[in-house]
Amino acid sequence: MYKRLKINEEKKRKKKTKKPNFRVLKKVLFFLEKRERFAFQTVVLTGGVLITQLIWQDVRFPMVFFLSFLSYILTAWSLKEDIEDKEWLLLFILPVFFTASLSLFYFLLPPRMIIRLTTSIIFAVGTYAILLIENIYNVAAERSIQLLRAAQSIGLLLTLTVIFLTANIIYSLRLGFMANAIILAVISFFLSLQSLWSVKVENRLSPRLITHAAVIATCIGELSLALSFWPIENASYSLLIAAAYYSLVGIIQQYLNERLFFNIVREYILVFLFTFTLTFITTRWG
């Protein structure tokens, strides 16, 4: 009788110390549908961005770097089908830079809950839209798809948002003129590389695209260098940088599409000149 009781007690202990069941976690990681993975990534990153505003200031910047790295990992998981060669770089530029720029821009906003929630909603919508865009690019690399033109337009809009936020952040740091130029040139190079690659999505990255991206990055860097000596406001600085990026990328995209006509070039130039004139007028020179 005593032995039976002892055996029963041992069985109960084994049941209590039974290893955790990882089936649910395995299902989440490997068996979710693509749209479900997109939603999961959006929720995780949005929660992380919101947490960066509620934790100690000493760990906020490391948290931004962690979220940017996590954005790359989660995007690779969400788009794990058919990622090849140069896509491991090109498909992840916009998600990573969007996460980093909006997370850092959070620090420039007033610490009010309504602003935090509104910005978090904008981040969630933007992140989900970016994942849909990158998925279209991923599919378009293998076969033609009708949604590519819409993805290019929305992708350019989100890229302009990243450029605007990044320029605002950099100018707010009051760095030296060379630092402003170098940082914006590097960021513009990677963003323009994806913007130009999306025109004719391919598995390879041609030297011509790299050259065009380098030209855009150089122009943005030189403009940033010149504006560093202006008594210009943050918003005007960021708007002019974004307008320059839009005009340069737009013209080169039309060139790659073999649709570079005079009226199209004129429209892009007029957009930049209008923004430049508005910035010049609103600048306080005295």
Contacts of residue 165, Cβ cutoff 8 Å, sequence gap at least 6: 101, 102, 104, 105, 238
CA distances 10 to 2, 15, 17, 18, 204, Å, are 12, 9, 10, 12, 61
- Residue 26 — pLDDT band, cuts 50, 70, 90? low
pLDDT tens, residue by residue, 48-99? 888 887 777 778 888 888 999 999 999 888 887 777 777 777 888 899 999 9
* Residue 5 pLDDT greater than 50, yes or no: no
Comparing 27-31, 134-138, 275-279, the range with the smallest average pLDDT is 27-31
pLDDT of residue 125: 94
How many other C-beta atoms lie within 10 A of the C-beta of residue 91? 23
Rounded to a whole number of angstroms, the CA Rg of the chain reads 24
* Residue 149 pLDDT greater than 90, yes or no: no
Q: What percent of the chain has pLDDT over 90?
A: 42
The mean of the pLDDT values for the chain is 84
How many other C-beta atoms lie within 10 A of the C-beta of residue 266? 10
Which pTM value belongs to this model? 0.85
* For the chain, domain boundaries: 28-145, 176-286
